[in-house]
Structure 1
Amino acid sequence: MNGAVPFPLDLPELTIGDVAEGLVRRTILPSGVRILTEHIPGARSATIGYWVAAGSRDETGAEGASPSHFGSTHFLEHLLFKGTPSRSALDIAIAFDSVGGEHNAVTSKEYTCYYAKVRDADLPMAVEVIADMLTSSLLDNGEFETERGVILEELAMAEDDPGDVVGERLFEAVLGAHPLGRPVGGTPDTIRAATRDAVWEHYRAQYRANDLVVAAAGAVEHDVLVAQVTTALVAAGWDLSVSAAPRPRRSSTPATLSGATPLRVVGKPTEQVSLMLGFPGIVAADERRTTMAVLNSVLGGGMSSRLFQEVREKRGLAYSVYSYAPSYSDAGVFAMFAGCTPGREGDVSELMLAELGRLASDGITADELDRAHGQLSGSAALALEDSDTRMSRLGRSELTLGEFVDLDESVRRLMAVSADDVQELARELAAGPLSVAAVGPIDDDAFRQVAPV
């Protein structure tokens, strides 16, 4: 394939590629449901995902207000597995366990996906069961209260993980009042305050035919899957005869961030300080996203990266040290992480900032650029050996990017990234407002050299 293929929302049928190499097809039903498949020659299994274009950022209300939809996204991820008029929660579990399949869900800030991986012969079952869950969940009051306890336990487990806590605090610090700054799973307070009626309102507002994207990859025949999905959704009670345009994609115009804070410290009696330094990043559709991948690879993307070599290998100040750059439709974060002995957090912070500053001032070497090209192209190729990755690529391409980029085009874009491109982006990041988050036996004074308050 030469170049990216756009996914226009007004094109009912689209075909990309060929049968020998892997065929990608997309159908938009009159109701706005979008169905995408990637046929993988020789595969004997398939991964299917039902994607809803709603995540934690789409929850409305205010903490303490009534009604508030905060926490609804996480509640629905749990409750849709708890039974429908035709299937109990146990029936759903048995359906997949009895064929050796995998099924689960993932909630993010901008979407929710219910997915399964099964043998090719069992794909019709997965289509039917997930469609039933998505459209016909009982949202039973008793199950609601049970899952409230389960979610609170899940949040408590995350609260015991300093890495989870510091990540949430950094997002709050960098993104401030933006809805992307809120925790995906909600907080104990919002989960305790959530009501079944508020979650039902959120479901009714977000889980509609034109919000739905069904993506499948592996041993899948497109026309057959379209018929199966249509039959399953109609049987579950959705009226697909009503014409509707697919839900428009989110705006990719970078948001104006407000309410950011330079320092978030959480005192905990841990053996290590979990430390993150962050800056506003780039949006998901930014043309520089491949440049960001190269920058991240050089700075903190592997054992040969600058952070790993400078902080761990040369000085022994951390075991885990890396960088990453999550991006969303209208905002992003660039972050560096390290876990270190209490008392060393100031030195480690200065070292990490110095490495980013060196990228901005001096750029990267030809050898570093070559290694990044090799690392990223190789990891991309290996990831696509898995139908889960291919299914996720289809879902994200449809919901977020509005274009399909195959491996050849990804590598072409990667090889076009120059050292000057990386240095320019590093300068932009380093000039942005710095936020520091830390969890451990520390206080604010530890960071006065890097984040004065």
Structure 2
Amino acid sequence: MHQFRTVEGPIPVVALIDERLSTTTICLASKYGAQQDPVGQCGLAHVLEHVLMSAPVGTVPSLSEHVERLGGHANAETGLDRMLFYAQVHPDDADEVTGLLYRAVLEPSWSDGVLEREKRAVFQELAVAAADPSDVVQDDFLAHLFPGHPLGRPVAGTKADVERFDTATVAAAHAQRLLAAPLSVIVVGPALPKTVDPVVVGMDPRTLAAVGASPWTPPASPPPEPAAAVHWADEFTWVCAGARSVPNHHPRRPTFNVLAQLLGSSPSSVLYRRLRGEAGLAYTFQSWNRGYADTGAWRVLAGVEPGNGEAALDVIRTALDEIATHGPDPDDLTSARRQERMRVLTSIDTPLECARYLAMRGGGPGTWSPADEVAYIEAVGADDVRRAAAQIRDGFRAVASPAAR
């Protein structure tokens, strides 16, 4: 059986130790995300992430390359409200890689050449995303849901803003935002690496003193844009629909997750039966809820053929209204709770996904565990789901991409 351990220190550690595991995953998580990018510097956190993973670390050409040469896997991701840097390696390499991960993220070396190379890579990412309507529609949906707010800006940034970044700008974001945001380390493996304590790595005390020095408070979210008619293109179209939910640590958050399962892509869901089975209006769709620091977003993403868009939205609205008015069918609710519980458990059973999951959900050592999450899910009742559905129904809006020209 696995066990959870917490270690206090300059950077708190949450560890899932299971001697049966044959790999060690280390994830350094920061609550610095894209919503903290200043106006006119959209994409700054994302570019910083690229640079930290690609810059030399001592004699190592980069953290990413070194880990991959060891046979492991290293990557990073930037979200609206956090950044994750992680590596999965053989346990024999865990001590070395943990130290290198700390150095790469917390005490980086700066190079104009690395920055320019990674900016070109970001330009390619932006081009790929712009060519994918399923990506575009999600950015458009958040822009309508959080108008004029950092949550409504694209995480990857804009080409015009990214082009202006220089090394001094990126280094300032690291010192003033990443180091100032709360940091934590998540370890999933057969043993705790000896270097999980940054003092053991010999890090500069000034770096450790800067960690979490000035937490950032996100601005209040303005009201969403008024719901408007969807403009449909005469081709296959992606539609994203939903409304605001609740923040990440709100006690009602699991209820919105269960609602997403009720209206998700599983054959056991209400929406699957109606949208795909009975009406035949969509083959590819999914529903999910995402909480942020002070708000959340519940949404459905569906691909529809020409002429099917409004009918598909009517099916979604009707399903929400019926749940909001009468509550869910007891059998459907039981199935949705089981689906959500299994989503948590399957994440925990995969080491890399477990580390990411703990990083996204954890509020610090001792404040949360997967067992807590399962208990919250099991406690979700019919009236809880009814109220959540009413909130989404009443705030419902939708956007489509590509839009009619």
TM-score under structure 2 normalisation? 0.91
Spell out the pairing of 1:2-401 with structure 2 (5 A cutoff).
21-29=2-10, 33-60=11-38, 62-63=39-40, 69-84=41-56, 86-87=58-59, 89=61, 92-208=63-179, 211-221=182-192, 224-227=194-197, 229-232=198-201, 234=203, 237-239=204-206, 242=209, 248=215, 255-258=220-223, 260-263=225-228, 271-399=235-363
Spell out the pairing of 1:413-424 with structure 2 (5 A cutoff).
413-424=376-387
Structure 1 distance, partners of 2:208, 2:157, is: 36
1:347–1:240 CA distance, 2 compared to 1 (3 A): closer
1:400–1:160 CA distance, 2 compared to 1 (3 A): farther
Q: Secondary structure at the match of 1:337?
A: strand
* Structure 2 counterpart of 1:78, one-letter code: H
Structure 1 distance, partners of 2:216, 2:5, is: 20
Structure 2 distance, partners of 1:256, 1:391, is: 30
* Structure 2 counterpart of 1:370, one-letter code: T
1:343–1:442 CA distance, 2 compared to 1 (3 A): farther
* Equivalent residue pairs, number: 405
* Structure 2 counterpart of 1:412, one-letter code: A
Contact 1:377/1:411 (8 A) holds in 2: yes
Q: Secondary structure at the match of 1:436?
A: strand
1:441–1:185 CA distance, 2 compared to 1 (3 A): closer
Consecutive unaligned residues in structure 1, runs of 5 or more? 1-19, 64-68, 444-453
* Structure 1 residue 400 displacement after superposition: 7.7
1:365–1:173 CA distance, 2 compared to 1 (3 A): same
Contact 1:53/1:399 (8 A) holds in 2: no
* Structure 1 residue 265 displacement after superposition: 6.5
Q: In the TM superposition, what whole-angstrom CA distance separates every residue of 1:33-91 from its partner, at most 9, and x where no partner exists?
A: 2222221232221110111221101111x33xxxxx332111111111232362353x5
Structure 2 distance, partners of 1:78, 1:116, is: 15
* Structure 2 counterpart of 1:257, one-letter code: P
Structure 2 distance, partners of 1:193, 1:265, is: 35
Structure 1 distance, partners of 2:308, 2:358, is: 43
Query: What RMSD in Å do the two structures reach over aligned CA positions?
Result: 2.7
* Structure 1 residue 183 displacement after superposition: 0.8
Contact 2:179/2:211 (8 A) holds in 1: no
* Structure 1 residue 209 displacement after superposition: 7.3
* Structure 1 residue 136 displacement after superposition: 3.6
1:384–1:191 CA distance, 2 compared to 1 (3 A): same
Structure 1 distance, partners of 2:210, 2:136, is: 44
Q: In the TM superposition, what whole-angstrom CA distance separates every residue of 1:123-177 from its partner, at most 9, and x where no partner exists?
A: 0121122122113433311222222221111111011111100000000011112
1:207–1:373 CA distance, 2 compared to 1 (3 A): closer
* Structure 1 residue 196 displacement after superposition: 2.7
* Structure 1 counterpart of 2:37, one-letter code: E
1:171–1:401 CA distance, 2 compared to 1 (3 A): farther
* Structure 2 counterpart of 1:313, one-letter code: G
1:423–1:93 CA distance, 2 compared to 1 (3 A): closer
Contact 2:269/2:336 (8 A) holds in 1: no
Q: Give the equivalent residue in structure 2 for 1:6.
A: none
1:241–1:360 CA distance, 2 compared to 1 (3 A): closer
TM-score under structure 1 normalisation? 0.82
Contact 2:344/2:370 (8 A) holds in 1: no
Consecutive unaligned residues in structure 2, runs of 5 or more? none
Instruction: Select the structure of larger CA radius of gyration.
Output: 1
Structure 2 distance, partners of 1:195, 1:241, is: 25
Q: Secondary structure at the match of 1:424?
A: helix
Q: Secondary structure at the match of 2:336?
A: helix
Structure 1 distance, partners of 2:209, 2:137, is: 46
Contact 2:240/2:398 (8 A) holds in 1: yes
* Structure 1 residue 398 displacement after superposition: 4.0
